[in-house]
Amino acid sequence: MRIALCGGTGDLGEGLALRWTRDTDHETLVGSRDPEKARERAADYEATLDEHGVAASLDGFANGMATDRADVVVLCVPAYHLVDTVESIADRIDDTVLVSPAVGMGRDDAGLHYNPPSAGSVTALAAGAAPEGTSVVGAFHALAAGRLADLGTELGWDVPVVGDDADAKSRVGELADGIEGLRALDAGGLGNAAEVESLTPLLINLAANGDDLHDLGVRFR
C-alpha cells in the first residue's frame, strides 16, 4: 500500500515512516507544506534506515502531491493545523482513507487535559473537514513519538482504532499490525474517538509524575 504522511516531517511521521519502511512492504511518502523540507526529511529517514541496515528509498512531496499518490493519508499534524491540512488536500482525495492521530490538549497546573473541539473529537473534526463520503479513521494517538522513531527500541503497544467505515478501519488496523510491536484494537465507531484521544494526556501525566517513566504507550490486557 502507499501511505502519505502529511506533516510527516515531525516526530510521529518519522517514527511511522521508519517503521513501515523497515517492517513492511508499504511505500511511505513524506509530505509537508514545504516540499523541500519533505525531501530533506525523507533523506534523513533514508540515512537512519541505512544505519539500521535497511536499504530503502524514501521521497518527499508537498502534502497535496503525496496525497495524490496515496491509498492512505495519515494527518501527522497538530490538532490546530488539522482542518487547514485537510482542506489543502481535499481535491486530491479520491477513495483515499484519511487517518487522524491528532489530539487536542490543554495544560493547567495539574497537568495535561483532553480538550476536544466542538465536533466532539479531533477525528470528528477531520471527518467534518473532509469531502463528503471520505473514510476517516482515528488511530496512532497513543504512540510516544520519540520511542516510535527510535528503531533500537521495542514497542509492545496497542493502537485503538475508531471509524464508521469497517473496510477502512480494518485497512488501517492492518497497517498498525504491520509494525513490529504494535497491535491494532477496534474501539468502535467514530463516535468513540474522544475516549481514544483522551488516553494521550493520561500517558503524558503518568510519565510526568512517575519515577523512571517516559515515552509511555499502552497495552490492554
Interacting residues with a copy of itself (CB under 8 A): 108-114, 156-157, 160, 185-192, 194-196, 198-199, 201-203, 205-206, 208-210, 213, 216-221
Q: Please, what is the minimum distance in Å from the beta carbon of residue 151 to a copy of itself?
A: 18
CA terminus-to-terminus distance, the chain: 30
Q: Please, what is the minimum distance in Å from the beta carbon of residue 112 to a copy of itself?
A: 8
Dist CA 108 CA 88 (whole Å): 32
Q: Please, what is the minimum distance in Å from the beta carbon of residue 13 to a copy of itself?
A: 23
Residues forming beta bridges with residue 61, ordered by sequence position = 31
**Which of helix, strand or coil describes residue 38?**
helix
Closer residue to a copy of itself (CB): 68 or 215: 215
Closer residue to a copy of itself (CB): 30 or 124: 124
Closer residue to a copy of itself (CB): 111 or 117: 111
Closer residue to a copy of itself (CB): 79 or 199: 199
Dist CA 199 CA 216 (whole Å): 11
Q: Is the separation of the CB atoms in 109 and 83 below 8 Å? A: no
**Which of helix, strand or coil describes residue 132?**
coil
